[in-house]
A and B are shown apart, each in its own frame.
Chain A
Amino acid sequence: MAGTEPAERGARLDRDKLLAARYRAATDRPYLASALYSLSVVPSTGVPTMGVDRHWRCYVSPSFVDATPVPELAGVWIHEVSHLLRDHHGRAERLPAADQRDHRRVNIAQDCEINDDLLADRLPLPEGRVEPGTFGLPAGRIFEAYLPDIPPQDTHLNCGSGAHGVPAPWERDGPGLAKVSEVEASALRRATAEAIRAHERGRGTVPAGWRRWALEILEPTVDWRRMLAGAVREAVAWAGGAVDYTYQRPSRRTAAMRGVVLPSLRRPLPRVAIVVDTSGSMGEDDLAAAMAEVTGVLREVGVRGNRVTVLACDADVHTVSRVTSAEQVTLGGGGGTDMRVGIRRALTSGDRPNVVIVLTDGYTPWPEEPETCRLIAALVGVGAGAAPPDPPGWVETVRIGDPPGYAAAR
């Protein structure tokens, strides 16, 4: 939370008030009760207000408790547990190093992510809180999205290592202190997400931010880049794994055995054909991104040059043209699309590919039965309007869309 006054030394913690606030928070937001009660309280005169570390210990300033009314204190409890539930310290570790070092800005961005939900939930928060409006930013984003727009500033706002990942000076560690391990924390997150869904189904309303978070925990969306790269890598490895014996070169072990000619192993370098749908319904940006991703992975695994064929396919006029890069693909008129033409042309060409990657919006008929090669379908620009029909089960399918909020952050 926003810092107000550094605590004076030797103040006694009003435990009853603090716990009453936690009780109130847990009664008002029953789906957060388990997580709230999993925090262990550590009184500390070093912390300006309240803060958490990554082991789910909550450091509390006695004078802050004295000065803050119970309803606001309840809001602060929810604020602090939100840092931990949303795995802010884990996500902060995945930021670029320069951003990680600037933990004050990270903390502010994280507070923006949390506080807009709490305010939308009509929870009172103390004065001096940070919200996206403070910086003229729209509400409802994740902290990674806020971070670039937060100006550098000098503030002693510090929610602890449970938020931005950098240990604060007032944090303590030792064998005697209670702690929640990483695995237990993920179990708690899952349980909380399920409680949110149950609460929503029952009667209560849940802020949009929490609903999105719960959905993401229970059914995480995977970044399509990793999916596509994984699919391409695996298909190429599969084609490259078609190891065969050859007598063209004798085995290096032949010299050890007189009178025996051992074959050596040959590992073919696979050929890859990329069939690009050039019908007008394709999104140009998504297409370029998917194309860059595919060629990047192919280059990384050593498939390049004349081993990669790019075919621009437009079924209406039945033209299939070979291009060498994404820039040469021109998106043409609308109408029907038939990727089968492109796939057929790729497979009947002189250099038969082992892997065919189809970049399409999905509005195309697919071959009736499995081809004698790996087929990967990258469905570009999915999400706008009605969903296209699914490719057959034997086609490895990756849906390329905007990386959804938490998926990009996780």
Chain B
Amino acid sequence: MSVNTPSPDPLAAADELTARARAWRTEPSESPQLEALALAVTANLPVLLWGEPGIGKSAGMEQLAAGLDVPLETVIASVHEPSDFAGLPIIGDDPATTGVPMAPPDWAVRLAAAGRGLVFFDELSSAPPAVQAALLRVVLERRVGSLTLPEPVRVVAAANPPSSAADGWHLSPPLANRFVHLHWTHEPRTVARGMAGTWPSVTVPLVDPGKISGAVARARGAVSGFLTARPGLAHHLPADAEGRGGAWPSPRTWEMALRLLAVGYATDASREGLASAVVGAIGDGAGIELLSYLEELDLPDPDRVLANPEAFALPKRGDRQLAFLTAVVSAVQGDLSRRRWEAGWVVLAKAVDAGVPDVAARAAVDLAALRDTDWAVPSGIDGFIDILRLSGAMPAGS
């Protein structure tokens, strides 16, 4: 040994180094997947995170629990027996009179004592089917042995995609249908920043008490309106095993989508986070159809806009501007009057102001064709002349 002065604890300095390397801080940033997770957890729906091993699912859970200020219990599902979730039988003095109670494991007792919290079942898809079946009861009925988990306890599970895990089974359809499925991916840029010591922080959605009744009514109207239009999507079991082990539409998952939408409306969630959560509940196809249906519902009412054309905002995205402007022109066409026709030009002028005259050009051509010969040529048409001439739609010099 070349060390002359022996330190009292040879590992003390090493431990300090480890602690230093482990310390990190957070910064606010947009992360749709974190937001979708927070939304589903806020709505108290069981969440299933799909992701390759080692991409920070557990780290995300720790952050979320810290953000919500609740205790976190992690249970590795694949190393447990079915009886760990169904309860362990304990013999009393006189089984004939007192029966044999099914004792819950310690994590369940801790959560029940706390009254709230987050339980995280890791490696769910690697658990054998019998364990999955026992877990079904925990997820569905919140019962672990003879103990009932309090209502505020949130359930999150994680699974590896069957293609990446040698022992990964497809989830059984009844279990899969009870979760909001979120795909957990890592963003290389986020990881690089995290290694420098800064991770994105979880913004916990806060439900505004004043918005509760309005948000629920709005969500009910949206989902029931959509299902009236598309009854075929009320229940649709996918044909292949992989699809059945993921998100698919069923009355149960529509209920989940409704709750997610209501929470989204009451918390001002971003469109992207809400969209990923809804798609995670009812699956890709149905989810995307619902979202585009909702966006169409969101477009301003053309008649109301024509009544007061100065006071409305053009939708942000081009395809929605196109849908809206087309609707305005057909509203003018449906009930043609000079006042409405001129109001139509005021609306189209907003598109020119917004720097997208081409979106409105088609509508302008149609609106111009509706002109009564007595009506004056509106000044708004000038904004479109260049576009139409350059594009070849109008001969030069006309």
Contact = CB atoms under 8 A, between A and B. Distances in A.
Interface of A: 15-17, 19-24, 26-27, 33-40, 70-71, 74, 175, 178, 180-184, 186-188, 190-191, 222, 226-227, 230-231, 233-234, 237-238, 240-241, 243, 253, 257-260, 262, 265, 267, 300-302
Contacts of B167: 301-302
Q: What does DSSP make chain A's interface, helix, strand, loop or mixed?
A: helix
Given A70-B391, A257-B91, A265-B81, A230 B170 contact: yes
Interface string B326-356: 0000000000000000000000000000011
B246 to A, nearest CB: 11
Contact of B241 (A35, A180, A234): A234
Contacts, number: 147
A243 B272 contact: no
B284 interface: yes
Given A23-B361, A38-B318, A15 B355 contact: yes
B242 to A, nearest CB: 4
Contact of B317 (A184, A190, A237, A265): A184
A205 to B, nearest CB: 21
Nearest to A167: B189
B291 A183 contact: yes
A71 B167 CA distance: 56
A47 to B, nearest CB: 19
Contacts of A226: 163, 240, 242
Given A34-B319, A243-B82, A265-B130, 5 more contacts: A34-B323, A37-B322, A37-B359, A180-B317, A183-B275
A241 B131 CA distance: 9
Contacts of A233: 162, 169-170, 241
Interface of B: 30, 32, 81-83, 88-91, 128-130, 133, 162-163, 166-167, 169-170, 240-242, 271-272, 275-276, 279, 284, 287-289, 291-292, 295, 316-319, 321-323, 355-359, 361-362, 386-393
Contacts of A258: 91
Contacts of A178: 316-317
A259 B120 CA distance: 35
A241 B322 contact: no
Contacts of A253: 83, 88
A194 B14 CA distance: 62
Contacts of B359: 37
A26 B358 CA distance: 9
B387 A23 contact: yes
Contacts of A238: 129
A243 B127 CA distance: 13
B275 A181 contact: yes
A70 B390 contact: yes
8 nearest A-B residue pairs (beta carbon): A37-B318, A241-B129, A20-B390, A230-B241, A34-B319, A23-B358, A183-B275, A24-B391
A401 to B, nearest CB: 15
Nearest to A34: B319
A257 B240 contact: no
A36 B318 contact: yes
A180 B387 CA distance: 25
Nearest to B361: A23
A237 B170 contact: yes
Nearest to B169: A237
B288 A34 contact: no
B123 to A, nearest CB: 15
A38 B128 contact: no
B89 A262 contact: yes
Nearest to A238: B129
Given A19-B357, A19-B387, A231-B241, A38 B319 contact: yes
Contacts of B291: 183-184, 187
Contact of B32 (A181, A231, A237): A181
21 contacts: A19-B357, A20-B388, A23-B362, A23-B387, A37-B318, A37-B356, A38-B317, A38-B319, A40-B318, A178-B317, A183-B272, A183-B287, A187-B295, A188-B319, A233-B169, A241-B128, A243-B82, A243-B129, A259-B91, A301-B166, A302-B167
B34 to A, nearest CB: 14
Nearest to B357: A19
A27 B391 contact: yes
A27 B393 contact: yes
A301 to B, nearest CB: 7
Given A190-B288, A237-B169, A24 B356 contact: no
Contacts of A257: 89-91
Contacts of B323: 34
Given A19-B356, A181-B272, A186-B288, A39 B318 contact: yes
